[in-house]
């Protein structure tokens, strides 16, 4: 999908800083980060351990506050929002996919997806319909009634993507989504994220792997709490058809 439309960026941060304080010890983690992300982009935030990429994702995903700086989301300054306001933003505007899946083993794939809608004011009928739509979007309609203990790691991650997708968020954050997968399963997961982006979803991928980052359209490289590169990926290999049609 083309990057943006020249309007107000979906995400804009300026001189974002984050310090962790433990007694008299103050550790700077983000040291003045500035960039914008347009609606419909597929961004990879890449860097080694300790670069600040996970801290940045937590701030962008309303899981943490910056120490200083400005953060605008969809034109609204959220830099100093209360924890309650951030919780509502997190529920309604973003979805998360984590390396460890975080699925409830006693539930079916479909019920794990429906959990993301537990606090939304919608009918049971709409909740069921949206969950089925989301799980079919990741090619797992035939596994929807399976316990997640009976499916593969790659399928677990696809359930997690469906769970992130079901609330129709403005952004899907994927934090090392292939980290626990073999190369084949990881490739399928990245193909799904590419396809979701082609359908208009904004994706922010956090990874330390260059090969994974190159599935995105743009790579923001971090090291030691600062941005050391921000480049567009000139050629992304987009799968046509692929596992979603199988």
Judged against a pLDDT cut of 70, whether residue 235 lies above it is answered with: no
Only one residue has tokens 């020249």, namely 6
Q: How, if at all, do strands 94-98 and 68-73 pair? A: unpaired
Cβ atoms of 99 and 176 within 8 Å: the answer is yes
pLDDT in tens, 92-119: 999 999 999 999 999 999 999 999 998 8
Q: Band of the pLDDT at 233, cuts 50, 70, 90?
A: confident
Judged against a pLDDT cut of 50, whether residue 245 lies above it is answered with: no
Query: Mean pLDDT, to the nearest integer, of 204-216?
Result: 93
Query: Mean pLDDT, to the nearest integer, of 188-200?
Result: 93
pLDDT in tens, 43-78: 999 999 999 999 999 999 999 999 999 999 999 999
**The pLDDT value given to residue 242:** 45
Instruction: Work out the end-to-end distance of the chain between its first and last CA atoms, rounded to an integer number of angstroms.
Output: 23
Nearest-angstrom CA–CA distance, 83 and 75:
19
Annotate 22-76 with three-state secondary structure. ECCEEEEEEEEEEEEECCCCEEEEECCCCCCHHHHHHHHCCCCCCCEEEEEECCE
**The pLDDT value given to residue 81:** 86
Work out the percent of the chain whose per-residue pLDDT is above 70. Answer: 92
**The pLDDT value given to residue 8:** 83
Cβ atoms of 150 and 103 within 8 Å: the answer is no
**The pLDDT value given to residue 246:** 43
Q: Band of the pLDDT at 234, cuts 50, 70, 90?
A: low
Annotate the chain with three-state secondary structure. CCCCCCCCCCEEEEEEEEEEEECCEEEEEEEEEEEEECCCCEEEEECCCCCCHHHHHHHHCCCCCCCEEEEEECCEECCCCCHHHHHHHHHHHEEEEECCCCCCCCCEHHHHHHHHHCCCCCCHHHHHHHHHHHHHHCCCHHHCCCEHHHCCHHHHHHHHHHHHHCCCCCEEEEECCCCCCCHHHHHHHHHHHHHHHHCCCEEEEEECCHHHHCCCCEEEEEECCEEEEEEECCCCCCCCCHHHHC
Q: For all residues of the chain together, what is the average pLDDT?
A: 90
> What pTM was estimated for this model as a whole?
0.88
Of 73-77, 132-136, 185-189, 239-243, the range with the lowest mean pLDDT is: 239-243
Q: Band of the pLDDT at 6, cuts 50, 70, 90?
A: low
């Amino acid at each position: 999908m083309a990057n943006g439309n020249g309007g107000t960026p979906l995400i804009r941060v300026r001189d974002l800083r984050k310090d962790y304080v433990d007694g008299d010890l103050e550790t700077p983690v983000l040291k003045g980060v500035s960039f914008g992300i347009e609606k419909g982009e597929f961004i990879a935030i890449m860097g080694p351990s300790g670069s600040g990429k996970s801290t940045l994702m937590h701030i962008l995903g309303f899981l943490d506050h910056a120490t200083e700086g400005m953060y605008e989301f969809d034109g609204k300054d959220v830099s100093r929002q209360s924890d309650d306001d951030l919780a509502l933003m997190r529920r309604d505007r973003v979805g998360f996919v984590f390396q460890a899946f975080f699925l409830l083993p006693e539930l079916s794939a479909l019920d794990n997806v429906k959990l993301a809608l537990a606090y939304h004011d919608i009918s049971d009928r709409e909740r069921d319909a949206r969950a089925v739509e989301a799980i079919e979007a990741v090619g797992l309609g035939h596994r929807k009634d399976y316990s997640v203990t009976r499916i593969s790691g790659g399928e677990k991650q696809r359930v997690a993507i469906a769970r992130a997708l079901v609330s129709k968020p403005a952004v899907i954050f994927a934090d090392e989504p292939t980290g626990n997968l073999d190369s084949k399963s990881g490739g399928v997961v990245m193909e799904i994220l590419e396809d979701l982006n082609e359908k208009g979803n904004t994706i922010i991928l956090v990874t330390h792997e260059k090969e994974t980052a190159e599935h995105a359209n743009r790579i923001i490289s971090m090291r030691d709490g600062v941005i050391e590169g921000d480049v567009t990926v000139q050629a992304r290999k987009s799968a046509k058809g692929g596992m979603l049609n199988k």
